[in-house]
Structure 1
Amino acid sequence: MDIATFPLGPLQTNCFVLANGDQAVVVDPGGDPAPVLDHLKEQGLTLTHILNTHLHFDHTAGNKALSEATGAPVLAHQADASLLETWLGRGGDMGLPLIDVYDWTPLEPGEGVFAGAACRILHTPGHSTGSLTFHFPDAGAAFVGDLIFYRSIGRTDFPGGDLPTLKRSVEEHIFTMPPETRLLSGHGPETTVGDERNHNPFFGGF
């Protein structure tokens, strides 16, 4: 499996394309998806799903355009639905544009298959109530959104955020993965489970 990264939108949110054979899944298209569409075409990939780790606007701004261009459904956790009534989900604050309204389908935690690849869908709240992590064991990678970053963690001061809940999500769901698992975050460079378990200052006692 191959993973390509495209920083999109005004906050340069990492959008990921995981390719498996001639199929692909996109995680968090946070801006104009033109580079993603070009990549899909160049690589001869068919997009099967668009996955949102959470419904903050900087992770969803490209949902509508990408879904309409490919026919791929948008999936996210129902617990984040209320965000779509606020600036956090719609944008429009701090001089940022409103994002296009998109159709989406609620996704429950459990076992799934996307682009022909097995996926563990983990409910990892703390940054938002409905934050999800998508762990693809065969790819050795987990898409964690804004749950955890290289040597840092996601904000918990937005509605739906909670620091103890976030730390519990990381300790129970992320740090229990194999240490070599790549953590692909919504912003910044990638890291690994082992590196963060040993060096993330927010988990010094873990």
Structure 2
Amino acid sequence: MLIYQNAHLAVHRLLLNELKTNCFIIQNGTEALLVDPTDQADVIIAYLREHGLQLRHMLTTHGHFDHVSGAAGMVESGLVDTLYVHEKDFDELKRAKTYSLMIFKKKMEVPPMAHYSEELVGFLRGWGLGLRHVGGHTKGSSYLYGLDRDFIISGDLTLHHKLTITMFDSRENTAEFKEFIDQVRQDFRPDTVILPGHGNATTVAAELEHNKKWAYVQQKESHGH
């Protein structure tokens, strides 16, 4: 379903796994960019065909299994040949296979991976998009954003504030997480739309005011813990 639109791009959302992880298809005319291929490659392919979209690239905001389970199937389809992921999450993505078996009780193939390249960054810039690595949630966590600062696809650096969330995971890095929150506050408008890893679209203002995890991170770091 269409979840966000500006003058040049349309963003579609698919919910394809048990965790309701957001899978996004960014449309530019008849071309598409797949962000976080969460599961069910066949459904993603059918959606692209239904809307007459040619897939150009596929990337993930981070390497957790619920964000990448459909990637191998997309490569097998021949529509793309690799999954772009930050190189600091290569090991995370390799571990995704184990977590998929543990949590989903489902086998997952690890797709061919490529690190975020100059070619990819240039392609995104041509679409009016930026890509920034920050870490925090995982070592390679990154976010995609409109160069007009109108929207952010944040991965799990943002979970909609109305969702029940864990305050912090021992594997997460609070200093890096706070850096992301600071960037959002400084570089984006209050009405900038956030398309989170889980949950509905929200705004910078709403998350700064209501997101308990963001508040926890900022308080923890400000007290030097």
Distance 1:49 1:174 in 2: 29
Letter in structure 1 aligned against 2:14: F
Distance 2:57 2:205 in 1: 29
| Kept in 1: contact 2:82–2:113 (CA 8 A) | yes
Q: How far apart are 1:116 and its partner, in Å?
A: 4.8
For residues 1-206 of structure 1, the aligned pairs below 5 Å read: 1-69=9-77, 70-87=79-96, 91-94=100-103, 96-107=105-116, 111-114=121-124, 116-138=126-148, 140-151=150-161, 156-157=168-169, 159=171, 161-173=172-184, 176-201=187-212, 202-203=214-215
- Structure 1 residues 68 and 44: alpha-carbon distance in aligned structure 2, compared to 1, 3 A threshold: same
- Structure 1 residues 172 and 116: alpha-carbon distance in aligned structure 2, compared to 1, 3 A threshold: closer
From the two aligned structures, give the one with the greater strand fraction.
1
| Kept in 1: contact 2:134–2:177 (CA 8 A) | yes
From the two aligned structures, give the one with the greater helix fraction.
2
Distance 1:189 1:20 in 2: 22
Q: How far apart are 1:178 and its partner, in Å?
A: 2.2
Q: How far apart are 1:87 and its partner, in Å?
A: 4.8
Per-residue CA shift, 1:4-34, capped at 9, x if unaligned?
1101123221101110101110110111122
Per-residue CA shift, 1:105-124, capped at 9, x if unaligned?
10159954239512211112
Letter in structure 1 aligned against 2:181: V
- Relative to the length of structure 2, the TM-score reads 0.79
SS in 2 for 1:84: helix
Distance 1:150 1:127 in 2: 15
Residue range with higher mean Cα deviation, 105-114 or 70-79: 105-114
Distance 1:144 1:200 in 2: 14
- Relative to the length of structure 1, the TM-score reads 0.86
Distance 1:67 1:115 in 2: 24
Distance 2:133 2:196 in 1: 15
SS in 1 for 2:101: coil
Gaps of 5+ in 1: none
Number of aligned residue pairs: give it: 205
Letter in structure 1 aligned against 2:92: L
Q: How far apart are 1:185 and its partner, in Å?
A: 1.1
Q: How far apart are 1:92 and its partner, in Å?
A: 1.7
Letter in structure 2 aligned against 1:75: Y
Structure (1 or 2) with the larger CA radius of gyration? 2
| Kept in 1: contact 2:97–2:109 (CA 8 A) | no
Gaps of 5+ in 2: 1-8, 220-225
Identity of aligned residues (%): 28
* RMSD (Å), alpha carbons: 2.8
